[in-house]
Structures are given as structure tokens and as C-alpha cells.
């Protein structure tokens, strides 16, 4: 990269702030500078670029076409610099930092409630947890590992199995009692909540229960487990959800398991990490702890009633 093409950061910040406020005065207030200093920074930037970024119209400033294009391009870069600075500042005071990419529901419902136990075991660890929905290139992203759901396929990475999903039918206690749900066939005639990413779930569960119905696909549809769980808690219907995502709701009684008839999924959760990178101590410790927690899930599943 030819650094001669990169303007000073102060000039870029002054330009972005002035463009956002459409005012040198308000930009000066935000950046704790004088209006003259902001105007001078922008003028130097315009001289460097060889074009006007603002039109001065009486007491107002208006972006030129070039200014709008430049603002669009540099705003993302400034945001990335801000995020990178905040991330490196979070390392302060920690001997080692784990950078982990997780799936949102898995991170919220399963991982986060357990992380305090990992921190007790590895007290020097710092944690940076980010959301990623799809596989990425570890060489291009600053992550030590990731939680992946699906098949054990991730280019340039090792995928170690944690556990498969075990889906169960749940509802609020009031909903169960109101509809007098006693056996699987009773679920045909009650409101059922559908997950749009798992459109066949209820059909598969009814098939396993030996219940024949033509309306398994009917019901309100939701995109995320968190949404469908909240709807079930508030008596909107029966839902099929992975047991690991509603552990606290089952323990508190906000939801009840309707039947000891689970639907095992073929896809599983995996811990994924770069193939050609030596695991740092914090990553190795997290990997060991994660597999221990996953074993608890697998053992719990094996103790469930048949079906």
C-alpha cells in the first residue's frame, strides 16, 4: 500500500463529522476543536484530493457528488478502525484473549450461561465473542475458533463434533392445561408454532409419534428460536425447539415439555478451528472445557426416556 495516498486520520475524521452534521460548527463541538480548525482540515483534504468535497452556500455546507461518494467509502473504514481499536483495548489486563465466532441462538441460549465456569477455570482469559452465521476464511478473520451447525465441512479447518440437536415439543403450562393436551394426537387441533428454517419439523415429529395428519405445516411462522420460544412462553402455541435452548425455561416452569418424545436431528454442532495453526493455551483450554460441557449434554440425552 502506498501510504502517500492515505490522508491524515484527523482530516478524514473532520470531514466525516462535518458531513454527518452538515455543519463545521457542530463538527467542531463534537470533536472539541474550533470551527476554523475543522474548516482547515477539510480544506487540506480537498487540496490533497484535488477536488471540492463541500459546496459553501452562505452559512451552510452541502456535499458535492464527489463528497458523497468519498463519505460513503471512508465511513466503513473509519468504523473498522474504531472497532479494531476497541477490540485491542479490551485485551488490557488479560494474559490471553479468546476470539470466538458463534451462532446467535447457540451463543445466547447455551454458551453464554456457561461461560462463567470457563472463566473460573482459566482466570486469565479475555473473551471476544462475535456472531457469524456462515463459514468464513480463518486466514481473513481474526478468530481462534467458531461454533458451527450443520455438516462437519469447513475449508481449511478442523471440525470436532459436540452434539446433535434434540428437539422436543414445549408449551406454557397454561396452554397445555387449557387445551387438555394428554397425548401426541391432541397437538393436531391446537395452535402450533412453526420455525421457517425448519418447515418439516412438526411433520417429522408427528410421523415419529405415529400420528397421521394433513395439517402439520399449519401455524404461525417465526424465523428464530428466540422468537418462537417467547411466543410459546406467552401461550401462543406449542413449539418444537432444541432442548438445550430452553433449559432455563423448563427449570423455571415458564415452559413444560409436553411429551418424552424427542426428534433427533441429523445435523450437529461442531467446534471448528484453523487447520494449520497451533492452538494457543487459552484456545486449547476452551476446547477441552467445551468438549466436557458437550459430554454433559450427550449424557443427559442418553438418560432420557426412549423415543
Do 296 and 172 fall into the same domain?
A: no
Residue 304 has pLDDT above 60, yes or no: no
Backbone angles phi, psi at 235, to 5 degrees: 70, 20
Do 244 and 116 fall into the same domain?
A: no
- Mean pLDDT, to the nearest integer, of 55-62? 85
84 confidence band (pLDDT: 50, 70, 90): low
CA dist., res. 79 & res. 93, Å (int): 25
CA dist., res. 271 & res. 279, Å (int): 13
Domain that holds residue 15: 3-89
Q: Mean pLDDT for the chain?
A: 89
Do 146 and 275 fall into the same domain?
A: yes
Residue 95 has pLDDT above 60, yes or no: no
Residue 104 has pLDDT above 60, yes or no: yes
Q: So what's the pLDDT on residue 124?
A: 76
Q: How many domains does the chain have?
A: 3
Q: So what's the pLDDT on residue 85?
A: 66
Q: So what's the pLDDT on residue 1?
A: 45
pLDDT digits (tens, 9 = 90+) for 233-264: 999 999 999 999 999 999 999 999 999 888 87
Do β-strands 54-57 and 60-63 pair in parallel, antiparallel, or remain unpaired?
antiparallel
Do 186 and 151 fall into the same domain?
A: no
305 confidence band (pLDDT: 50, 70, 90): very low
Q: So what's the pLDDT on residue 88?
A: 61
Q: Which has more confidence, 57 or 159?
A: 159
Judge whether 156 and 274 are in contact, CB under 8 Å: yes
Q: What is the CATH number of the domain that holds 284?
A: 3.40.190.10
Q: So what's the pLDDT on residue 8?
A: 87
Which of 62, 89, 116 finishes a domain?
A: 89
CA dist., res. 152 & res. 160, Å (int): 8
Do 82 and 100 fall into the same domain?
A: no
Q: Where are the beta strands (DSSP E) in the chain?
A: 54-57, 60-63, 96-102, 125-131, 145-150, 157-171, 192-195, 221-222, 238-242, 256-257, 263-274
Q: So what's the pLDDT on residue 18?
A: 93
- Mean pLDDT, to the nearest integer, of 211-217? 94
- Mean pLDDT, to the nearest integer, of 254-283? 90
Residue 300 has pLDDT above 80, yes or no: no
- Mean pLDDT, to the nearest integer, of 167-193? 97
Residue 89 has pLDDT above 70, yes or no: no
Give, in degrees to the nearest 5, the angle at Cα 99 between 266 and 126. 125
Residue 250 lies in a domain: yes
Name the helix (H) or strand (E) containing 69.
helix 65-89
Do 199 and 243 fall into the same domain?
A: yes
- Mean pLDDT, to the nearest integer, of 192-214? 94
CA dist., res. 128 & res. 232, Å (int): 32
Do 171 and 242 fall into the same domain?
A: yes
DSSP 223-287: SSHHHHHHHHHTTS-EEEEEGGGSHHHHHHTSSEE--S--EEEEEEEEEEEETTSPPPHHHHHHH
306 confidence band (pLDDT: 50, 70, 90): very low
- Mean pLDDT, to the nearest integer, of 57-66? 88
pTM attached to this predicted model: 0.69
At a CB cut-off of 8 Å and minimum separation 6, what does 171 contact?
Answer: 181, 232, 235, 237, 238, 239, 255, 256, 258
Residue 189 has pLDDT above 90, yes or no: yes
Do 170 and 248 fall into the same domain?
A: yes
Which of 59, 89, 119 finishes a domain?
A: 89
Range picked from 16-20, 26-30, 189-193, 260-264 for highest mean pLDDT: 189-193
- Mean pLDDT, to the nearest integer, of 202-231? 94
At a CB cut-off of 8 Å and minimum separation 6, what does 185 contact?
Answer: 209, 211
Residue 86 has pLDDT above 70, yes or no: no
Name the helix (H) or strand (E) containing 21.
helix 9-21
Residue 54 lies in a domain: yes
**Residue indicated by cell numbers 387449557:** 178
Residue 307 lies in a domain: no
CA dist., res. 262 & res. 217, Å (int): 18
CA dist., res. 61 & res. 35, Å (int): 13
Residue 3 has pLDDT above 60, yes or no: no
Amino acid at each position: 500500500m502506498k501510504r502517500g495516498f492515505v490522508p491524515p486520520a484527523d482530516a478524514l475524521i473532520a470531514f466525516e463529522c462535518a458531513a454527518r452534521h452538515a455543519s463545521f460548527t457542530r463538527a467542531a463541538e463534537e470533536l472539541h476543536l474550533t470551527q476554523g480548525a475543522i474548516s482547515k482540515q477539510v480544506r487540506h483534504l480537498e487540496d490533497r484530493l484535488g477536488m471540492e468535497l463541500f459546496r459553501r452556500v452562505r452559512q451552510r455546507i452541502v456535499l458535492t457528488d464527489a463528497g458523497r461518494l468519498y463519505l460513503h467509502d471512508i465511513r466503513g473504514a473509519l468504523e473498522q478502525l474504531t472497532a479494531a481499536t476497541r477490540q485491542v483495548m479490551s485485551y488490557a489486563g488479560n494474559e490471553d484473549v479468546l476470539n470466538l465466532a458463534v451462532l446467535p441462538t447457540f451463543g445466547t441460549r447455551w454458551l453464554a450461561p456457561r461461560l462463567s465456569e470457563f472463566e473460573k477455570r482459566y482466570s486469565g482469559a479475555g473473551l471476544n465473542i462475535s456472531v457469524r452465521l456462515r463459514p468464513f476464511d480463518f486466514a481473513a478473520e481474526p478468530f481462534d475458533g467458531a461454533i458451527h451447525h450443520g455438516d462437519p465441512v469447513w475449508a481449511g479447518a478442523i471440525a470436532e463434533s459436540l452434539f446433535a440437536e434434540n428437539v422436543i415439543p414445549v408449551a406454557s403450562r397454561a396452554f397445555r392445561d387449557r387445551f387438555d393436551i394428554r397425548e401426541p394426537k391432541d397437538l393436531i387441533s391446537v395452535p402450533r408454532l412453526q420455525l421457517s428454517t425448519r418447515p418439516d419439523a412438526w411433520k417429522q415429529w408427528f410421523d415419529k409419534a405415529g400420528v397421521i395428519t394433513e395439517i402439520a405445516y399449519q401455524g404461525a411462522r417465526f424465523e428464530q428460536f428466540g422468537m418462537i420460544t417467547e411466543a410459546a412462553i406467552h401461550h401462543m402455541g406449542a413449539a418444537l425447539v432444541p432442548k438445550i435452548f430452553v433449559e432455563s425455561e423448563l427449570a423455571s416452569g415458564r415452559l413444560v415439555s409436553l411429551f418424552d418424545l424427542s426428534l433427533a436431528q441429523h445435523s450437529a454442532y461442531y467446534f471448528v478451528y484453523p487447520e494449520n495453526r497451533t492452538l494457543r493455551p487459552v484456545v486449547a483450554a476452551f476446547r477441552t472445557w467445551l468438549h466436557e460441557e458437550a459430554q454433559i449434554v450427550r449424557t443427559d440425552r442418553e438418560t432420557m426416556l426412549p423415543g
